[in-house]
Structure 1
């Protein structure tokens, strides 16, 4: 346990484990020798993971370009419904290999929307990399090609993920205990 902002947090995935997994994932991606790779980070939660992943890709000899997209899933109550684009990528997708990067894969609706959007816009291939995968929450038929950790069914914070805009700065992923 660690105390942050007066709250007790249980560390689920520590800083060193995250560094190792990102390096492993970057190695997997680099082994495919992706040319003309465009990394599209899904904001806001993925920004820390995406930054570390593109630096790891560089260390593995991959020189991707980077774009950002912000998506929102809305519907009745807390159940996700339609997905809408809040902030779109600025550059062309056509003819590019795309790697969508997100913090966590849960229901899959948002990432399915993003992948379909990239393919519809002419991406030659589109893979997904996520730091965390909550398989038990899947509502859409989608899986990530690159996964850091299988995540338990708890609400997580840190490493870019927040609760009420807090805890994004943490170098680990944890859950608030109190």
Structure 2
């Protein structure tokens, strides 16, 4: 346990463990020899992971371009909430291989929406890379192509993920204990 902002946190995935896993994922993606790759980070939680992943991709010889999309689910916490675009990508998708990058895959509704959107806009393919996968929370028929860690059924913070806009800066993934 460590204390941050007066709260006790349990480290689930350390900074070093995450770095190794991000490098492994980048090697896996690079082995597919993606050409004309467009990485689309799903904001906000993925920004740290996406930054580390594109730098690792560079080290493995991949030169992706980068875009961002922000999505929101209406009726958060309810079954079947509609997904809406808060901030859209700025560049063209048509003819591009897209890699959607998100912090965590839970229900799958948001990433299913994002993948279908990229394909509808003419992407030649749309793969998904997530740092964390909570399979037990899946409500949509979707799986990630590249997964860092299986995540326990707890609320996680750090490495870009927050609770009440706090803890995004932590270099590890943990859970608030108290």
Q: Identify the residue that residue 78 of structure 1 maps to in structure 2.
A: 77
Structure 2 residue matching 1:71: 3-state secondary structure: strand
Structure 2 residue matching 1:164: 3-state secondary structure: coil
Matched ranges for 1:145-164 at <5 A:
145-164=145-164
Per-residue CA distance 1:17-36 (angstroms, 9 max, x = gap): 00000000000000000000
Once the 2 structures are TM-superposed, how far is the Cα of residue 101 of structure 1 from its aligned partner? Answer: 0.1
Matched, 1:124 2:99: no
RMSD of aligned residue pairs (Cα, Å): 0.7
Q: 1 CA distance for matches of 2:94 and 2:18?
A: 32
Runs of 4+ in 1 over 2 A off after TM superposition: none
Once the 2 structures are TM-superposed, how far is the Cα of residue 100 of structure 1 from its aligned partner? Answer: 0.1
Q: Identify the residue that residue 166 of structure 2 maps to in structure 1.
A: 166
Once the 2 structures are TM-superposed, how far is the Cα of residue 79 of structure 1 from its aligned partner? Answer: 1.5
Compute the TM-score of the two structures, normalised by the length of structure 1. Answer: 0.98
Q: 2 CA distance for matches of 1:131 and 1:93?
A: 23
Q: Identify the residue that residue 139 of structure 2 maps to in structure 1.
A: 139
Matched ranges for 1:61-76 at <5 A:
61-75=61-75
Matched, 1:56 2:39: no
Structure 1 residue matching 2:175: 3-state secondary structure: strand
Matched, 1:42 2:42: yes
- Give structure 2 stretches of 5+ with no counterpart: none
Q: 2 CA distance for matches of 1:173 and 1:74?
A: 26
Q: 2 CA distance for matches of 1:161 and 1:29?
A: 23
Q: Identify the residue that residue 12 of structure 1 maps to in structure 2.
A: 12
Matched ranges for 1:84-99 at <5 A:
84-99=84-99
Structure 2 residue matching 1:118: 3-state secondary structure: helix
Per-residue CA distance 1:87-136 (angstroms, 9 max, x = gap): 00000000000000000000000000000000000000110000000000
Q: 1 CA distance for matches of 2:20 and 2:173?
A: 14
Compute the TM-score of the two structures, normalised by the length of structure 2. Answer: 0.98
Structure 1 residue matching 2:160: 3-state secondary structure: coil
